[in-house]
Amino acid sequence: MRRLRSVKIVATLGPASNDYDTIRALHEAGADVFRLNMSHGSHDEIRERHQIIRQVEKDLDSPIAILADLQGPKLRVGVFANDAEELVEGAVFRLDLDPKPGDVSRVCLPHPEIFAALEPGARLLVNDGKIRLVVQDCGQDFANCSVEVGGTISNRKGVNVPDVVLPLAALSAKDRDDLEFVCQLGVDWLALSFVQRAKDVFEARALADGRASILSKIEKPAAVEAFDDILDASDGIMVARGDLGVELPVSAVPPIQKRLVRKCRGAAKPVIVATQMLESMIESPMPTRAEVSDVATAIYEGTDAIMLSAESAAGSYPIEAVQTMNKVAIEVEADPTYSQIIASSRSAKGTSVADGIVAAAREIAEKTEIKAICCFTQSGTTALLTARERPAVPILALTPATGTARRLCLTWGCHCVMTPELERFKGAVVNAARAARSGGFAAEADQIVVTAGVPFNVPGTTNILRIAPCDERLIYNTDPG
């Protein structure tokens, strides 16, 4: 199913989008990746959604990536005797390990690891930052705080601790169970929540054991500080602006987003910009102008994918939300300014043969009438390197590996095509020409760039670039091998 844009769309599934007809309509409207949020839904519900996605994939003969988003450690206060209390600015409020119901002066915070890391002056943000507490003094089982910003605090509200690196594993017991479950199902990507350091990624990778690619969600200040190490350890990144905007000043989020997207592009690793992109479409069939601008900004930055959360999972207009993103993306990418921005922000510095091949393919495509770059890839690396170049023509990623085709659905510009395993380069060129013609990327009179590696079906051997006609008769007449 050909897209008329390069950026990819991730749609979260939920109560508003859990049947075959809706999921198929979402894919036809433009969703390239479906996100299964492990914070919501039982394993039976997740399994059913996974099966529906794979059925849609089969029925439409269109590879689809599935992203399982692990919940991560959730920090919450306990309960109150009156269910809720009103905290006023300047008051003293105590957090402790006492499980008794709380009142206006204290509440249980059942996380001893938080107390072990706290220091005087540290902030605690409750209920998405609506309440702000500052630690005055603390010990192994308590923290006496002053209320900096008051408000209503109620049962089991979430707590953010932005000023310290918490001695928490990124994977809770629930996450470990969920990880094994979705890996057995056969998801393509695992998203790790509340990553703080590269060590968190290594732990998840060991548990996944090659069954899924690892995507780290950047939503804590510690992750921003350790980003280079986290990026090296990860297969992809999600800029999760929800918690990031709680733990950091909201004014800091846009430059962080721009910086992280550019680093991911340079590393040839896919990056998703997520959270509140079309938030008003949960209840309205039309987005706000500011939301459209937010989506457009992420596309102009060169992000691989933009994501819908509650808009497609629980909103009243899930299909319309995908259609809106699709229309915005097509409009932005048709803007001459878009190609200028993308070209000026290209930062690849690789020195391998593969780096040279893909850079040459992009430059040739830009200076001639080439209609597409067709790259044969076993593991996906060649396609990722090609996408890093952000060429002005479509990328056809041809692979015999179903898992590779699915994973690349998250990567900018990649149109994934399944192909049989090949032994000779002439066969690869013929397959590329057929894929370009059948997909509507080129006509018989056109030319394409073909990149591949010899020997075939060996990862990391990209070493050939061929300018090829789409007319098979010319291929057979001119190619020696």
- The angle at the Cα of 279, spanning 278 to 283, to the nearest 5 degrees, equals 110
Question: Does residue 451 have an active-site annotation?
Answer: no
**How many alpha carbons lie under 13 Å from residue 7 in its C-beta half-sphere?**
31
Catalytic entry in 3, 47, 54, 76: 76
* Phi, psi at 179, each rounded to 5°: -60, -50
Distance (Å, whole) CA 223 – CA 216: 9
Active site includes 406? no
List the catalytic residue out of 275, 377, 419, 462: 275
CB atoms within 10 A of CB 440: 9
Neighbours of 81 (CB within 10 A): 11
In three state form, how does the secondary structure of the chain look? CCCCCCCEEEEEECCCCCCHHHHHHHHHHCCCEEEEECCCCCHHHHHHHHHHHHHHHHHHCCCCEEEEECCCCCCECCCECCCEEEECCCCEEEEECCCCCEECCEEECCCHHHHHHCCCCCEEEECCCCEEEEEEEEECCEEEEEEEECEEEECCCEEECCCCCCCCCCCCHHHHHHHHHHHHHCCCEEEECCCCCHHHHHHHHHHHCCCCEEEEEECCHHHHHCHHHHHHHCCEEEEEHHHHHHHCCHHHHHHHHHHHHHHHHHCCCCEEEECCCCHHHHCCCCCCHHHHHHHHHHHHCCCCEEEECHHHHCCCCHHHHHHHHHHHHHHHHCCHHHHHHHHHCCCCCCCCHHHHHHHHHHHHHHHCCCCCEEEECCCCHHHHHHHHCCCCCCEEEEECCHHHHHHHHHCCCEEEEECCCCCCHHHHHHHHHHHHHHCCCCCCCCEEEEEEECCCCCCCCEEEEEEEECCHHHHHHHCCC
Would residue 76 show up in a list of annotated catalytic residues for this protein? yes
- Does 24 participate in catalysis according to the annotation? no
Catalytic-role residue among 24, 35, 49, 390: 35
List the catalytic residue out of 49, 132, 205, 217. Answer: 217
Listed residue (270, 176, 172, 162) closest to 225, CA to CA: 162
Long-range contacts of 133-141 (CB under 8 A, 24+ apart): 133/93, 133/95, 136/92, 139/115, 140/112, 140/115, 140/116, 141/96, 141/97, 141/112, 141/115
Active site members: 35, 76, 217, 275
